[in-house]
Amino acid sequence: MKHTIDARNLLCPMPVIRLQTQIGDYQAGDTIEIISTDPGTQYDIPAWCRVHGHKVLDIQQKENEIRIFVEVGQ
């Protein structure tokens, strides 16, 4: 299942905290699209995923928005 987390206009560490808070509601294998305007999320979210066993599938940047696609791990 695909989910979206809108973290636009939130500054570090809020996009990561929002992901951490919501990821517990999802199942392993689900995909989450995190939409952010904070450039630091392209580094912070992959680092958080490595520590917590989730997989970054793709990072896309278009103008001032960053979209990070994460697969929920076990």
Across-strand partners of 9?
none
Q: Does 49 participate in catalysis according to the annotation?
A: no
The pTM assigned to this predicted structure is: 0.94
pLDDT digits (tens, 9 = 90+) for 14-73: 999 999 999 999 999 999 999 999 999 999 999 999 999 999 999 999 999 999 999 999
Query: Residue 31, exposed/middle/buried by CB under 10 A (0-12, 13-18, 19+)?
Result: middle
Determine the 3-state secondary structure of 27 from DSSP. Answer: coil
Domain residue limits at 6: 2-71
- The tally of domains found in the chain comes to 1
User: Would you say 23 and 32 are in contact if contact means Cβ atoms under 8 Å apart?
Assistant: yes
Preceding amide of 15 cis, omega within 30: no
Say which CATH number the domain at 50 has: 3.30.110.40
The catalytic residue among 3, 8, 10, 12 is 12
